[in-house]
Amino acid sequence: MSTRILGIESSCDETAAAVVSDGLEVLSNVVASQIEIHKKYGGVVPELASREHLRQIVPVVREAMTQAKMQLTEVDAIAVTQGPGLVGALLVGITYGKTLAAALKKPLIPVNHLEGHVHAVFLEAHRAGRKGEFPAVCLIVSGGHTVLYEVTETRNDGASDYQALSYRKMGQTRDDAAGEAYDKVAKLLALGYPGGPILDRLSSVSSAPSNGATNGATPPVRFGPTKMRGNALDFSFSGLKTAVLYHLREHPEYSEDIRIRQEALGRGENTFEKLLPLCDGQTLALIHEFQRAVVRTLVEQTMAAAETISAESILVSGGVAANTELRSAFEKRAVSSAMEVFFPSRALSTDNAAMIAAAAYSRFRAGLLADTSLNPDPALILR
């Protein structure tokens, strides 16, 4: 008989619920995004996020049960994201999860959001009939995190059918997360929020044939690699964002187009199709150069981390893992390095609850449960 876990995720600006069977089969996966609410502020407003989670949590869980064709009484356990994340946002999911668990007399499983992102990779691998070998290096790269972990198996004795993993942090961003850099640069260029998806698409419009040029034009600026003092596997993205800012200030020729795009955004014209004609070749080339710099840093640091532990696989997860150029750069490097690289599908890259229910499975089997004293931990560490 399979173990079916209802997962609830509310750590940031997505209210999500999902049912996953035995940690690997997604029976339902429902995500209510709050992008429309936070868009006009250019980032997530914590108070608004909590309020929206409160409005969405009941219908989202109900929809997850409907899609899974199950009653709440049929689930074996309820998993909730304990942290890291916004405290008020986490509190909504935790309180609802606790209440459901108590009312239904089901076990409650606390899950680290970052471990969820790792399991998003396994969900996709399972779907594709693939299996990653350990040790692995996992890059979690999103709007809130840019962090590298060594992932090792602590239990796979053949007698058990679940996989217990342990994590060691190898490097992390010292300032902005990579997704945050995308969002801030998109704001500077008046390209809306979130920045990642649109910059990704605009970057590919201007991507080079093969000679490094963009649309025939040379990049208006070159962003060099950031040298890190101390831990060489750490990241820094705020310098890159500032370099874009200074470049824009030094070149007033960008400002007229920025003003025009700002007006378009004000009219709600925020799609790629609407904004592309408002970007000239120089802007497209600047975006391409920014993306090239982000991707190069993420790939180089991850490959360096993988070499230090002789990793068998590379796992890449989080919202920025949806990036087209990042995916193709990793895939190219993997071919030449004999390491296998794994990504979640695009839907599982961004925040969702299937990854929370999946991560909960081994905890459930190991009896790592919580009671009604469970509290959010906004800075929860992954080990």
Binding residue (CB under 6 A) for ligand KG4 from 194, 219, 344, 376? 194
Q: How far is the CB of 114 from ligand KG4 (least distance, A)?
A: 9
User: Residue 357 and residue 226: Cα distance in Å, rounded?
Assistant: 37
Q: Does 144 bind ligand KG4 (CB under 6 A)?
A: yes
Closest CA to 193 of 179, 176, 205: 179
Q: How far is the CB of 80 from Zn ion (least distance, A)?
A: 15
User: Residue 140 and residue 147: Cα distance in Å, rounded?
Assistant: 5
Question: What residues contact residue 297 under an 8 Å CB cut-off, 6+ apart?
Answer: 225, 226, 235, 237
Q: Does 93 bind ligand KG4 (CB under 6 A)?
A: no
Residue 182 interaction partner, one of ligand KG4, Zn ion, none, beta carbon < 5-8 Å per kind: ligand KG4
Q: Does 81 bind Zn ion (CB under 5 A)?
A: no
Distances (CA, A) of 27 to 22, 65, 355, 361: 11, 9, 12, 14
Q: Which is nearer to ligand KG4, 61 or 120 (CB)?
A: 120
Q: How far is the CB of 253 from Zn ion (least distance, A)?
A: 37
Closest CA to 369 of 85, 111, 153: 111
Q: Does 176 bind ligand KG4 (CB under 6 A)?
A: no
Positions 325 through 364 that interact with ligand KG4 (CB under 6 A):
350-351
Distances (CA, A) of 377 to 48, 56, 110, 176: 19, 22, 10, 21
Binding residue (CB under 6 A) for ligand KG4 from 82, 142, 207, 297? 142
Residue 143 interaction partner, one of ligand KG4, Zn ion, none, beta carbon < 5-8 Å per kind: ligand KG4
Q: Does 9 bind Zn ion (CB under 5 A)?
A: no
Site string (259-298) toward ligand KG4, x via CB under 6 A: ----------------------------------------
Q: How far is the CB of 18 from Zn ion (least distance, A)?
A: 14
User: Residue 372 and residue 305: Cα distance in Å, rounded?
Assistant: 39
Q: How far is the CB of 126 from ligand KG4 (least distance, A)?
A: 20
Are 352 and 31 a contacting pair, CB within 8 Å? yes
Stretch that binds ligand KG4, among 119-127, 180-188, 327-335, 336-344 (CB under 6 A): 180-188
Do strands 77-83 and 4-9 pair parallel, antiparallel, or not at all (unpaired)? parallel
User: Residue 76 and residue 63: Cα distance in Å, rounded?
Assistant: 18
Stretch that binds ligand KG4, among 89-97, 266-274, 319-327, 335-343 (CB under 6 A): 319-327
CB-based burial of residue 210 (10 Å sphere; 0-12 exposed, 13-18 middle, 19+ buried)?
exposed
* Two tokens, residue 209: 């044939």
Site string (333-372) toward Zn ion, x via CB under 5 A: ------------------x---------------------
Q: Which is nearer to Zn ion, 117 or 241 (CB)?
A: 117
User: Residue 54 and residue 294: Cα distance in Å, rounded?
Assistant: 35
Q: Which is nearer to Zn ion, 142 or 297 (CB)?
A: 142
Q: Does 173 bind Zn ion (CB under 5 A)?
A: no
Report how far Cα 291 is from the mean position of its chain's Cα atoms.
17
Q: Does 196 bind ligand KG4 (CB under 6 A)?
A: yes
Closest CA to 330 of 187, 99, 141: 141
Q: Does 173 bind ligand KG4 (CB under 6 A)?
A: no
Binding residue (CB under 6 A) for ligand KG4 from 110, 319, 344, 376? 319
Phi and psi torsions of 22, nearest 5° = 50, 30
Please list the residues that pair with 33 across neighbouring strands: 14
**What is residue 216's three-state secondary structure?**
coil
* Contact residues for ligand KG4, defined by CB under 6 A: 12, 142-144, 179-180, 182-183, 194-197, 200, 318-320, 322-323, 350-351
* Residues at the contact surface with Zn ion, assessed by CB under 5 A: 142, 351
